[in-house]
Amino acid sequence: MTLFPLLTENPFGLSGLFWREGRFRPGPVRELLHLGDPLGPALARLPEALRDAVPKRQSEYLAGRICASLALRAAGLPEVLGLNGRAPVWPDGAAGSISHSDSRVVAAVSRDHAGLGVDCETVMPEDQARSLAPMILTAAEAALRPGTMSFAGFLTLVFSAKEAVYKAISARHARILEFHDVMLTGISADRLHLAQDAQDFQASFRLDRSEVMTLVLVAP
Ligand SMILES: CC(C)(COP(=O)(O)OP(=O)(O)OC[C@H]1O[C@@H](n2cnc3c(N)ncnc32)[C@H](O)[C@@H]1OP(=O)(O)O)[C@@H](O)C(=O)NCCC(=O)NCCS
């Protein structure tokens, strides 16, 4: 597995966010990996449950954990990540999140927020977006699509933002949310406005022809 390059600047221009983002190429992985970064090497270990997983799954897991470890180090926090089911458990004082898509991986950490959700996705093909739409969106939400945005780009963006909301609150939320539990209420040039159970969220986003990145921060 290779992980290169490693970016340290978040694409939203937000301060106080410790960000590691890279491109990974799946391949056979060893039990421990050492990869370079301006801050030095990082270590990641495969959990028992992934020992027999396919190389893509092992690679994305390790790439995510390496990025998380480096983001925690940049934040001056212990590089210790627990596991609750599949969810990472961040050290005291940290809110963080991990995401990976076909080849992209990102981890973000903040010391100033109660929750953080990051999500990257590859833009779906148009026919897949059309068939998944009823699961992700209501008609009222679909009507918020800007005329300049393709349906597939819009659907992938809303999918990603709802996943980011879920990641930002899941540690404090007793149940697994459905897509229709989180409502899109508005969209501006670089932000989606969402609501879940009377709480409002904003998802910063970047969308290009092939990829989406969303970020949700929850105030303390
Ligand atoms: C957690 C979940 C959102 C992952 O999203 P995804 O787009 O499939 O995958 P991503 O690559 O973006 O994110 C996966 C990473 O999220 C993290 N993650 C897993 N479960 C998580 C949770 N409950 N809370 C926060 N982060 C979680 C993990 O680090 C995982 O990567 P890893 O297993 O390699 O460590 C999804 O699998 C899930 O559990 N969904 C159920 C709830 C839901 O999605 N509802 C609809 C939106 S409201």
pTM above 0.95, yes or no: yes
Confidence at residue 30, expressed as pLDDT on a 0 to 100 scale:
63
pLDDT for the residue 36: 65
pLDDT value at residue 42: 85
Q: Please indicate whether residue 160, judged by its CB atom, sits closer than 6 Å to ligand 1.
A: no
What is the rounded average pLDDT of the residues 53-66? 92
Nearest CA to ligand 1 atom 32: 61
- pLDDT value at residue 71: 96
Task: Quickly state the pLDDT bin for 37 (edges 50, 70, 90).
Answer: confident
Provide the pLDDT for residue 145: 98
Q: Is residue 105 within 8 Å of residue 22, measured between CB atoms?
A: yes
**Residue 138: pLDDT band with limits 50, 70, 90:** very high
**Partners of 95 in the beta sheet?**
110
Please report the pLDDT score of residue 46 as a whole number.
87
The predicted pLDDT at position 190 comes to 93
In the chain, domain spans: 2-111, 120-218
- Taking the centre of ligand 1 as the mean of its atom positions, its distance from the CA of residue 163, in whole angstroms, is 7
Residue of the CA atom closest to atom 23 of ligand 1: 87
Query: What CATH architecture does domain 120-218 belong to?
Result: Alpha-Beta Complex (3.90)
Over range 142-165, report the average pLDDT. 98
What is the residue with the minimal CA distance to atom 24 of ligand 1? 167
User: Is pLDDT above 70 for 34?
Assistant: no
Average pLDDT of the segment spanning 75-84: 94
pLDDT at position 193 over 80: yes
Please give the average per-residue pLDDT across 160-178, as a whole number.
Answer: 94
